[in-house]
Amino acid sequence: MRRFLCVLVIAMLSAPCFAQVQPGSTGGSIGKTEKSISGGDQAPAPTPRQATPRRPGAQASPAASRYLGCFRDQQSNWLAGANTQGRDLNGLMTNDAGMTSARCISVCRSQGFKYAGTQYATYCFCGNAYGRSGAATCDTPCAGNREEMCGGGWANSVYRVSP
């Protein structure tokens, strides 16, 4: 059983995952909501532990977006495979070896989401609510620009995406 779980985890981590929209998510063009998990207009943002998502001298993210902080991520059922079920940003997920915050923001903006989050160097998550699990530490450089931070292990560098 232990060997099976190791093989399953390795297969899940190495499998590419492109633009998977989870049915019943809080994002996309169908079923959009202006409400957060707490029922208010926006989820209250805890104070992030990191003041900036990138190292000094790094390129700024697109002018129409704004860095909101670093927030914890989770998944309700890791055995369900690579999807957005239970994720903090639960609308769309992509995995790109050239990931940057600008690339993630562009993807989320093109799909009509309010928020974009980079995670663990290569992942991008989109959604219409964030921050339900609190603040985190984002310390992983982006795969597409090592001078920029792209979240961390189970941590999203979150940006507000303007239309």
The predicted pLDDT at position 78 comes to 63
Amino acid at site 79: L
Q: What is the pLDDT of residues 18-74, one digit of tens each?
A: 444 444 444 443 333 333 333 444 444 443 333 334 443 344 445 579 999 999 999
What region, left, alpha or beta, does residue 149 occupy, with left being phi > 0 and alpha being psi -120 to 50 degrees? beta
Do residues 134 and 154 lie in contact, with contact meaning Cβ atoms separated by under 8 Å?
no
pLDDT in tens, 69-99: 999 999 876 665 667 888 999 999 999 999 9
Bridge partners (DSSP) of residue 118 are 124, 157
Q: Is the pLDDT of residue 124 over 50?
A: yes
* Residue listed under structure tokens 């190791």: 6
Residue whose token pair is 């998990």: 37
pLDDT more than 90, % of the chain: 52
